Amino acid sequence: MSKQSSEDKPARHVAIVMDGNGRWATARGLERLKGHVKGVDRVREIVKAAPDFGIEYLTIFAFSTENWKRSAREVTGLMKMFRRYILGEAETMMRDQVRVRFIGDRAPLDKKLRSLMDELEILTAKNSQLNLTVALNYGGRDEITRAVGRMARAVKMGMLDPSEITEAKISNFLDTADIPDPDLVIRTSGEHRTSNFLPWQAAYAEYVFPETAWPDFTVSELVKMLNLYKDRDRRFGASVAK
């Protein structure tokens, strides 16, 4: 039996837990927010470079449903940064043909930020060079909980029969409906956990945990991770690689 690896199949969907901004800043005597600001530069570079490596879908974890536990100063600073990023990136997204979507619960976000998110999604809806999904106020368990609520309402209204509930149907009720499952999940900064990121979708993803903090995660770091992915055997439960 020939050994097959992911060599011939580039990671079509890469998902990233952009972690380590706070520690990066603290280690340099800076306030945590400076690490987040630096992290945005890395986002710009990775988004620009992704299509060169055959990446069609890029999903980035920007803010979790658990991140509200941080200081008011950090949360407010992050929200302001998201507003700025969305406003400032529209032109680039159109130039580079990037389709932007957001996943997560939008209800608790401020009205101004929500309308900027809606506008960017509408503006870029027809772009097809790269699908960028930004997880903002995202938590996997929260996403599944909201999906179950919607499914229950659909059953109650007679629009969904419980006997029709399949894995594919559940996927369609998630925020990521229409987005394929990630092939590779990268978590930076040496933390070895998923922190509630895409638990349903990443069931069969390959994981890599580079030590590099997100503000130092340049395109060459991404290349290293894609090379690690290439050597992985993905068996999906079968006895040989698929």
Q: Which is nearer to Mg ion, 19 or 183 (CB)?
A: 19
Shortest approach of ligand IPE to residue 70 CB, angstroms?
8
Spatial distance between the Cα atoms of 210 and 191, rounded to a whole number of angstroms: 9
The answer to whether the CB of 217 falls within 8 A of the CB of 46 is yes
The answer to whether the CB of 7 falls within 8 A of the CB of 184 is no
Cβ count within 10 A of residue 149 = 11
Catalytic site residue from 8, 19, 127, 172: 19
Cβ count within 10 A of residue 127 = 17
55 lies in the site for ligand IPE, by CB under 6 A:
no
Catalytic site residue from 8, 67, 110, 161: 67
161 DSSP 8-state letter:
-
| 196: annotated active-site residue | no
21 binds, among ligand IPE, Mg ion, none (CB under 5 to 8 A by kind): ligand IPE
Strand partners, 99: 131
- Interacting residues with ligand IPE between 170 and 209 (CB under 6 A): 189, 191, 193, 195
Q: Which is nearer to ligand IPE, 25 or 151 (CB)?
A: 25
Residue 183: name the closest of 210, 197, 213, 203 by CA.
Answer: 203
Q: Which is nearer to Mg ion, 19 or 89 (CB)?
A: 19
Shortest approach of Mg ion to residue 137 CB, angstroms?
16
Shortest approach of Mg ion to residue 124 CB, angstroms?
28
Spatial distance between the Cα atoms of 9 and 229, rounded to a whole number of angstroms: 10
Contacts of 240 (CB under 8 A, 6+ apart): 1, 4
Q: Exactly one of 19, 89, 183, 206 binds Mg ion (CB under 5 A); which one?
A: 19
Spatial distance between the Cα atoms of 131 and 58, rounded to a whole number of angstroms: 6
| 227: annotated active-site residue | no
Shortest approach of Mg ion to residue 125 CB, angstroms?
32
Owner of token pair 């580039």: 10
Q: Exactly one of 12, 23, 83, 230 binds ligand IPE (CB under 6 A); which one?
A: 23
Q: Which is nearer to ligand IPE, 6 or 65 (CB)?
A: 65
The three-state secondary structure class of 84 is helix
Catalytic residues: 19, 67
Report the interface residues with ligand IPE, using CB under 6 A.
Answer: 17-23, 61-64, 67, 78, 189, 191, 193, 195
Report the interface residues with Mg ion, using CB under 5 A.
Answer: 19
